[in-house]
Amino acid sequence: MAVKPGLLKAFAPRILTRMGETLIDAQFMKCPMPVLRAAKALRGMGPGEKLRVLATDPAALSDFRDFCKTSGHVLVATSETKGVFSFTIRRKAEESAS
């Protein structure tokens, strides 16, 4: 079965950067995809920069809490409005080479 070229783009997350904050729109993606997209974005960001992720999968709440706890990033804020969860994450400081 062939996939139409534009079809996959419809499901790709939108990534925007505004006023020092990067936004990933991962709505309608099933976990763990929102967390994986966030992890990829955070790798390309500087220490202390903020990432905001929008997701609709209720499992994202526990996934992002666990991700931040294990990775060292800070989950600054979470909210939910009409089924859309918003997660604001601050990238961790670089580890010093001892």
CATH of the domain at 66: 3.30.110.40
Selecting among 21, 23, 29, 31, the annotated active-site residue is: 31
Q: Is residue 95 in some structural domain?
A: no
Q: Is residue 3 in some structural domain?
A: no
Q: Is residue 6 in some structural domain?
A: no
Residue 31 annotated in active site: yes
Q: Is residue 12 in some structural domain?
A: no
Query: What is the average pLDDT value for the chain, to the nearest integer?
Result: 84
Task: Using DSSP bridges, classify how beta strands 21-26 and 50-55 pair: parallel, antiparallel or unpaired.
Answer: parallel
Domain range for 54: 22-90
pTM: 0.79
Percent of the chain residues past pLDDT 90, beyond the cut: 71
- Domain count within the chain: 1
pLDDT over threshold 70, residue 76 = yes
pLDDT over threshold 70, residue 61 = yes
Q: Is residue 51 in some structural domain?
A: yes
Residue pair 52/23 in contact by the 8 Å Cβ criterion: yes
Strand partners, 37: none
Among 8-12, 41-45, 67-71, 82-86, the least confident range: 8-12
Q: What is the pLDDT of residue 6?
A: 41
